[in-house]
Amino acid sequence: MSDPETGDETVKKTIKVCGIIGSPKKNGNVDLLVSQVLKGANSQGAETHKIYLNDLHIKPCQSCGIDPYPKYCLFDDDMKSVYAAFESCEAIALGSPVYFDTVSAQAKLMIDRCNCLMPYVQQSNGTYDFERRIRRRKKGVFLAVAGTDQEFDTILTTVKGFFSWSNAELVETILYAHDDDELGGVKKDEKQMNHAFEIGVRIMK
């Protein structure tokens, strides 16, 4: 594409948005809501992709206390695809069911392995402080799905810490409570599906 006034070649930057699915159920409510956010972002020109955490082999954090620099972690496993998303994306939409008042085991494995995204290390003046390793600032979207008798307070505490460590500002949240056992039942909730789509549009603004 050329600038009509100068004739110089200009390149339009493609915004990348990643959806991270913390539910073990593909095509379930979490998957569908995250997909709607990605569709909304894609309608505004974003490049989107999804990561299904249940398909990845991620080792639990071992609290080794070793600075892995220049890596994000000493383990070499499928977390590398998540780290790559943090490096390249301008927005991340994380979705999880509410299990025992917090995120799923799949999501918690991923979150715990983000510990070294901001390690506590010795500074040049000899003091210790947290050092942010992910420089790219991002927008964050969180989507939680639970039964109508569950609470969302404690899960929000966990994910706010995650977004802070991954250098993302939590700008949008969907807390979807439902009372049915149908896989992907949210697709019948036109208002909720449209809301998720609109969030995807908004994060592109």
Residue 115 lies in a domain: yes
Residue 142 lies in a domain: yes
Domain boundaries, position 77: 17-202
Residue 30 lies in a domain: yes
Residue 1 lies in a domain: no
Mean pLDDT by 10 residues, the chain (205 residues): 46 83 97 98 96 98 91 95 95 97 97 93 87 93 95 94 95 95 94 98 95
Residue 4 lies in a domain: no
Which CATH number covers residue 33? 3.40.50.360
Task: List, for residues 121-174, the tens digit of each pLDDT value.
Answer: 888 888 989 999 998 999 999 999 999 989 899 999 999 999 999 999 999 999
Residue 185 lies in a domain: yes
pLDDT of res. 171: 97
The pTM score is: 0.90
Total domains, the chain? 1
Task: Give the amino acid at 87.
Answer: E
Residue 51 lies in a domain: yes
Residue 81 lies in a domain: yes
